[in-house]
C-alpha cells in the first residue's frame, strides 16, 4: 500500500469525503462490514472497543442518515488509531473495496475551473490544477474542440471576444491516468451599447458587478419588447426579471424578449441578479405601450389591428411515433430514420419532442394520453406517425406493432379521434404528418361518427393520396422514406406550414422513383399565417406551463454517468445516451486498471425480462454491431455498447449488473477473475410515464376504439394470392367545407399483397386524413373482403421502380 495515505495520520484527521466513502462501503457489507471490523479491533488491546461501544454504534441506524461505521471510525480515531492501523485491520478483514477508499488516487484536482461572466475585450482566465504521481499534462477543450495552444493549467484568452462564450473543460493526464475537470461556462457581455465613461466593469475577487442596465422603452401594441441586463462575476450570475414587483415566469435569462406586446405588458421592469452569496438589482425602467400611433405627426391615427400580426405559440409539443417491428405484418425500415431526423429538426424549432419506436396498441393510447397532457390553450401540437395504416370512410387509422392479422379499427388508433381531443385543449395549431398508406381496409366495415369542432387551425400532410400507398426505398443502409426525404429539407423554412408542405409536394413530384405512384396530399382549415417557426410566448397560466414542462422533462431524464471502483483496482465509467425517448444506450469504458492486469473488460448484463434484450447484441465493440446507427458518431470511442429499446415496457426500476473480467500477468493461465456490481438507475426516459399500464378510463381508448359486432369483424386468414382491384369511381369525396384538397393527382391501380417479397421499393402504411364534417362513402363496387389480404404493401412494376431508384441515387444524392 505504498500509494495509500500516510500511515501515521490519525483516522480522525482523514478527509471527510474519504471517511464518508469508507463508511458507506462498510455499512453495506454484510460479512466484511463494520461489525466484523469491530471484532478485529476489539481483539487488539491498544484500542479498547467494548461490547457497549458496538451496541452504541448499532443504534446509529435509528438516526436519520446515521451510520454505525462512521461512529466506529470516530471512536477508533479518538483512541489513537492511525491510518496504518486501519489499513492492517481492513487487510485482515479482507474488504478490498474499503482498502481502495484509503488508496491515494493517481490524479487529484486541487483547483477546478469555475464558470465566469466577463466583459468583451477584457481578459478571460480559467484555472485547473491537479496533482499526480508523475508529470501532469493539461489540454483545454471548448465543447469537443481542442483550444489551440492551451496545454497549461491556466487558460488565458486576451482579449476575450463574443465568439469565445461557451462551455470549457480541461483534460488532465498523469502517466496512464486521465481525468476531466468539471465544466465551466463562459458568458461574454458586450457593453458597448450601454458604456458609461469612467465606469469600471472589472469584477473584484469574483464578486458581482453590474455592467449592462436595462433601458426604458416606448412601444406600440404588436411590437417586440427587448430588455437586457448583465453582470460580471464568478460564478455566472442568475437572473430573474420582475414586472411591477412580481417575478415574470420563465424570465430567467439576461435578455428578456416579449414579442407582440399588448397593453397589459406595460409597467415597471427590473432584474434581480444573484449568486450563491450575493444579490443585487438593476435599475427599474418604465415600459409604455401605446395602442395607436400617428402617421407623419398628423391627426390620422391607425389602430393596431391594421399592423401585420405576429403570431406565436404558448408552447410547442410534438409526438413522433415510428412503428417498424411488426409481429404479424411486414417489417419496415424507414420509420426509425424518419423519426430520428424529424426529432432533431423539430428541436431546432423549440418543440418539446417525444419520439417513440415500436408501440403496442395500449402503449400508443397511453402515449397519446401523455401527449395530450402537454397541450393547453395556444400550444402548437404536432403528431407524426410512420408505420402501417389505412383509411376508411374518411378516417385514418394507425396500426400498432401488435395488431392482429387482419386488423380492425378496434385494434388501431383513429387520428380524427385524437384531433377531437386536441381541439378540447384549445390548441393554437394542430399539425398531423401521416406517413402511411391510405388503402381501404375491407376487413373493417365500421363507420365511425366523429364530430369535430369547426376550427381554423388544422393541417394534415398525408404522405400519399387517398386509396394509395406510401413508399419506403429499399436500401442496404439507413435511408428516409420518400415523404421525409423531402420534408426534412423544408421543415425549418420560416413560412406558413401549408406553404412548406406545398413545396414538399412539388419536390416529391419531381422524384422519378415515385412519380405517378405517390403524391403528397394537403388538407387544411388554417386561416392564419401560422408557421412552425413562430416564437413561443407563454400564456398567463404560468403554473400550468411549468407543470406541463415538468411532465415532458420526466420522459427525457437520462441517468447520470458514473464511475465504478472494483476490488481488483480497476475503475469503470458507465455512460448513457438517448437515441429515442424509449431507446437507451449504455456504454462502458475502462478508466484505469492495475499495471499488472493484462486483460480487463466490463460487461453489462442481467437486465429485466421486460426489455427482451438479445445477449448477442449486447456489449459490442462498435455501436453499429448492437444496432446503434444514428447516434454512433456522437458516442465516445473505445467502449462496449449496449442498446436497450422498448423502455416503455419497464415496470420496475432498471437494475442490472456490471461485470468486470480481469486477468493478471502472473495468472494468465488461470480463468479470468470476475467482479460484479449491481447498478440501479431508476426508470430512465419514457419508462417514468408507465406507458405499459392498462389504458385509463376516459382516455384516448374511449374515443379511438370503434367496437365491432361479430358480423362487422370477420375473422379471415389472408391467403398468398394477389388481388387486383380498380379504384376509378370506388370512392366519392363529400364536401369537406373548410378543408382544401391539394396535390392529390394519383389515380392508380395497384396490386396489394400481404408481405414484401424482395421488392426494390416497398410501401409502408402511413397515417393520413382529416374528416372535418365529412366522410368518404363506398359506392358498392368494392371487391369482396374474403379475397383480400390487408392492404399494407404494394408491388407494381417493381423491376422498373428498382432501376429508376438506382438511377435516382446518382441524380439526387442525399
Cis peptide before 248 (omega within 30 of 0): no
- The span from the CA of 572 to the CA of 592, in Å, is 7
The reply to whether 57 belongs to the active site is: no
Angle formed at CA 167 by CA 165 and CA 168, multiple of 5 degrees: 110
- The span from the CA of 462 to the CA of 543, in Å, is 36
Cis peptide before 565 (omega within 30 of 0): no
CA dihedral over 39, 42, 46, 47, signed as positive or negative: positive
- The span from the CA of 760 to the CA of 308, in Å, is 50
Cis peptide before 447 (omega within 30 of 0): no
The residues, ordered by sequence, that sit 6+ positions from 307 with a Cβ below 8 Å of its Cβ are 220, 221, 222
The residues, ordered by sequence, that sit 6+ positions from 617 with a Cβ below 8 Å of its Cβ are 625, 626, 627, 642, 643
- Please pick, among 412, 414, 437, 704, the residue that the annotation labels catalytic: 437
Q: What does the buried/exposed string (b/e) look like for 796-814 if buried means 16 or more CB atoms within 10 Å of the residue's CB?
A: bebeebbebbeebeeeeee
Question: Under a CB-based contact definition with an 8 Å cutoff, are residues 522 and 291 in contact?
Answer: no
Question: Under a CB-based contact definition with an 8 Å cutoff, are residues 561 and 587 in contact?
Answer: no
Cell numbers at residue 322, please? 415510428
- The span from the CA of 757 to the CA of 802, in Å, is 13
Alpha-carbon distances of 677 from 26, 567, 593, 600, 680, rounded to whole Å? 15, 10, 16, 15, 10
Alpha-carbon distances of 760 from 173, 484, 744, 801, rounded to whole Å? 53, 18, 25, 7
- The span from the CA of 358 to the CA of 139, in Å, is 43
Question: What is the three-class DSSP state of 92?
Answer: helix
- The span from the CA of 791 to the CA of 467, in Å, is 10
Annotate 476-492 with DSSP letters as a single string: SS---BHHHHHHTTTTT
Q: Which residues pair with 462 in a beta bridge?
A: 434, 521
User: Widest CA span of the chain, in angstroms?
Assistant: 103
Cell numbers at residue 481, please? 422514406
Alpha-carbon distances of 74 from 4, 12, 32, 79, 584, rounded to whole Å? 20, 6, 19, 9, 43
Q: Which residues pair with 174 in a beta bridge?
A: 136, 177
Q: Report which of 124, 211, 206 is spatially closest to residue 161, judged by C-alpha positions.
A: 124
Q: Which residues pair with 274 in a beta bridge?
A: 238, 279
Question: What is the three-class DSSP state of 33?
Answer: coil
- Please pick, among 85, 242, 329, 388, the residue that the annotation labels catalytic: 388
Cell numbers at residue 297, please? 405627426
- The span from the CA of 112 to the CA of 138, in Å, is 13
The reply to whether 437 belongs to the active site is: yes
Helix axes 34-42, 68-78, angle to 10 degrees: 20
The residues, ordered by sequence, that sit 6+ positions from 698 with a Cβ below 8 Å of its Cβ are none
Enumerate the active-site residues: 388, 437
Amino acid at each position: 500500500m505504498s500509494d495509500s495515505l500516510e500511515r501515521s495520520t490519525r483516522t480522525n484527521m482523514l478527509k471527510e469525503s474519504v471517511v464518508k466513502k469508507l463508511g458507506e462501503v462498510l455499512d453495506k457489507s454484510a460479512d466484511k462490514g463494520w461489525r466484523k471490523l469491530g471484532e478485529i479491533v476489539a481483539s487488539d488491546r491498544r484500542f479498547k472497543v467494548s461490547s457497549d461501544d458496538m451496541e452504541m454504534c448499532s443504534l446509529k441506524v435509528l438516526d436519520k442518515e446515521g451510520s454505525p461505521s462512521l461512529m466506529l471510525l470516530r471512536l477508533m480515531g479518538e483512541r489513537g488509531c492511525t491510518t496504518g492501523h486501519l489499513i492492517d485491520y481492513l487487510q485482515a478483514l479482507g474488504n478490498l473495496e474499503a482498502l481502495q477508499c484509503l488508496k491515494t488516487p493517481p490524479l487529484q484536482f486541487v483547483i477546478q475551473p469555475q464558470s465566469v461572466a466577463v466583459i468583451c475585450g477584457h481578459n478571460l482566465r480559467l484555472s485547473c490544477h491537479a496533482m499526480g504521481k508523475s508529470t501532469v499534462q493539461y489540454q483545454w477543450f471548448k465543447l469537443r474542440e481542442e483550444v489551440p495552444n492551451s496545454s497549461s493549467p491556466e487558460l488565458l484568452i486576451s482579449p476575450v471576444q463574443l465568439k469565445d462564450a461557451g462551455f470549457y473543460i480541461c483534460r488532465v493526464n498523469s502517466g496512464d491516468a486521465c481525468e476531466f475537470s468539471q465544466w465551466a461556462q463562459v458568458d461574454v457581455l458586450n457593453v458597448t451599447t450601454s458604456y458609461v465613461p469612467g465606469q469600471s466593469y472589472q469584477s473584484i475577487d469574483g464578486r458581482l458587478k453590474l455592467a449592462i442596465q436595462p433601458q426604458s422603452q416606448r412601444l406600440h401594441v404588436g411590437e417586440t419588447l427587448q430588455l437586457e441586463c448583465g453582470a460580471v462575476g464568478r460564478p455566472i450570475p442568475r437572473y430573474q426579471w420582475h414586472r411591477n414587483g412580481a417575478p415574470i415566469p420563465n424570465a430567467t435569462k439576461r435578455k428578456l424578449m416579449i414579442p407582440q406586446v399588448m397593453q397589459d405588458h406595460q409597467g415597471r421592469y427590473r432584474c434581480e441578479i444573484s449568486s450563491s452569496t450575493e444579490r443585487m438589482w438593476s435599475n427599474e425602467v418604465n415600459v409604455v405601450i401605446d395602442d395607436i400611433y400617428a402617421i407623419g405627426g398628423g391627426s390620422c391615427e391607425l389602430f393596431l389591428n391594421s399592423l401585420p400580426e405576429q403570431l406565436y405559440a404558448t408552447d410547442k409539443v410534438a409526438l413522433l411515433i415510428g412503428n417498424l417491428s411488426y409481429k404479424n405484418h411486414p417489417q419496415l425500415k424507414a420509420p426509425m430514420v424518419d423519426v430520428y431526423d424529424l426529432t432533431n429538426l423539430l428541436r431546432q424549432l423549440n418543440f418539446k419532442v417525444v419520439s417513440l419506436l415500436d408501440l403496442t396498441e395500449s402503449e400508443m393510447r397511453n402515449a397519446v394520453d401523455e401527449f395530450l397532457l402537454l397541450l393547453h390553450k395556444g400550444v402548437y401540437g404536432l403528431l407524426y406517425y410512420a408505420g402501417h395504416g389505412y383509411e376508411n370512410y374518411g378516417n385514418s387509422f394507425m396500426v400498432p406493432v401488435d395488431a392482429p392479422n387482419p386488423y380492425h379499427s378496434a385494434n388501431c388508433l383513429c387520428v380524427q379521434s385524437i384531433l377531437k381531443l386536441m381541439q378540447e385543449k384549445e390548441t393554437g395549431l394542430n399539425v398531423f404528418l401521416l406517413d402511411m398508406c391510405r388503402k381501404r381496409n375491407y376487413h373493417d366495415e365500421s363507420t365511425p361518427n366523429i364530430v369535430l369542432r369547426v376550427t381554423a387551425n388544422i393541417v394534415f400532410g398525408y404522405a400519399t393520396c387517398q386509396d394509395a400507398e406510401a413508399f419506403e426505398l429499399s436500401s442496404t443502409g439507413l435511408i428516409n422514406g420518400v415523404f421525409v426525404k423531402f420534408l426534412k429539407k423544408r421543415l425549418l423554412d420560416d413560412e406558413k406550414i401549408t406553404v412548406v408542405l406545398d413545396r414538399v409536394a412539388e419536390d416529391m413530384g419531381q422524384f422519378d422513383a415515385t412519380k405517378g405512384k405517390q403524391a403528397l396530399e394537403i388538407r387544411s382549415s388554417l386561416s392564419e399565417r401560422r408557421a412552425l417557426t413562430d416564437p413561443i410566448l407563454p400564456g398567463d397560466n404560468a403554473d400550468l406551463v411549468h407543470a406541463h414542462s415538468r411532465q415532458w422533462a420526466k420522459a427525457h431524464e437520462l441517468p447520470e454517468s458514473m464511475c465504478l471502483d472494483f476490488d481488483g483496482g480497476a475503475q469503470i465509467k458507465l455512460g448513457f445516451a438517448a437515441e429515442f425517448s424509449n431507446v437507451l444506450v449504455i456504454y462502458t469504458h475502462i478508466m484505469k486498471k492495475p499495471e499488472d492486469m493484462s486483460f480487463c473488460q466490463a460487461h453489462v448484463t442481467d437486465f429485466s425480462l421486460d426489455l427482451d434484450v438479445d445477449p448477442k447484441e449486447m456489449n459490442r465493440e462498435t455501436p453499429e454491431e448492437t444496432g446503434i446507427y444514428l447516434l454512433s458518431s456522437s458516442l465516445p470511442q473505445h467502449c462496449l455498447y449496449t442498446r436497450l429499446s422498448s423502455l416503455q415496457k419497464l415496470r420496475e426500476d432498471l437494475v442490472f449488473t456490471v461485470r468486470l473480467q480481469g486477468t493478471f500477468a502472473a495468472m494468465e493461465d488461470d480463468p479470468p477473475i470476475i467482479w460484479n456490481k449491481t447498478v440501479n438507475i431508476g426508470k430512465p426516459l419514457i419508462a417514468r410515464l408507465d406507458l405499459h399500464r392498462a389504458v385509463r378510463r376516459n382516455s384516448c381508448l374511449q374515443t379511438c376504439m370503434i367496437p365491432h359486432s361479430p358480423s362487422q369483424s370477420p375473422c379471415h386468414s389472408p391467403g398468398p394470392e394477389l388481388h387486383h382491384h380498380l379504384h376509378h369511381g370506388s370512392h366519392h369525396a363529400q364536401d369537406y367545407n373548410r378543408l382544401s384538397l391539394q396535390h392529390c393527382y394519383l389515380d392508380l391501380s395497384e396490386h396489394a399483397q400481404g408481405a414484401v417479397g424482395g421488392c426494390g421499393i416497398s410501401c409502408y402504411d402511413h397515417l393520413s386524413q382529416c374528416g372535418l364534417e365529412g366522410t368518404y362513402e363506398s359506392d358498392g363496387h368494392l371487391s369482396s373482403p374474403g379475397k383480400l389480404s390487408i392492404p399494407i404493401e404494394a408491388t407494381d412494376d417493381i423491376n422498373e421502380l428498382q432501376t429508376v431508384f438506382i438511377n435516382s441515387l446518382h441524380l439526387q444524392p442525399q
